[in-house]
Amino acid sequence: MTVISVRATPDLERKIKKLMEFEKSDKSSIVRKAIERGINEELKKFALMLYVERKVSLAKAAEIAEISVRDMLELIKEKGVSLNITVEDLKRDFEEAMK
């Protein structure tokens, strides 16, 4: 595991301590989980943006977000994004999924 240093504002430190109490966990675990959740959300946001801009296929967006195509479809639905799928896209996505 790599060590990463982060400067926390007093407000962030207060929130971390609150989570430590609620979850009965140490600071490192709380911060590690929060960073992982944040990065996962940023990957989804970035993948969705690329998909909306038609720069990537559905399968590629799912790959970027590190989620399944099914979960990517659910995210697209949750965000109210139009499904940009043509027959060619379906063929390409199917071929990519079979790799």
User: In a structure prediction context, what are the per-residue pLDDT tens digits for the chain, which is 99 residues long?
Assistant: 899 998 999 999 999 999 999 999 999 999 999 999 999 999 999 999 999 999 998 889 999 999 999 999 999 999 998 887 777 777 776 787 787
* 16 within 8 A of 28, measured Cβ to Cβ: no
Is 3 a domain residue? no
Is 19 a domain residue? yes
Counted domains in the chain: 1
Is 41 a domain residue? yes
Query: Rounded to whole angstroms, how far apart are CA atoms 52 and 84?
Result: 8
Is 1 a domain residue? no
pLDDT at site 88: 78
Is 91 a domain residue? yes
pTM (global) more than 0.75? yes
pLDDT at site 94: 76
User: In which domain, by residue range, is 43 found?
Assistant: 10-97
Is 4 a domain residue? no
pLDDT at site 47: 97
Q: What is the DSSP letter of 66?
A: T
pLDDT at site 78: 93
Spatial neighbors of 50 by CB under 8 A, at least 6 apart, are 56, 60, 61, 64
Is 2 a domain residue? no
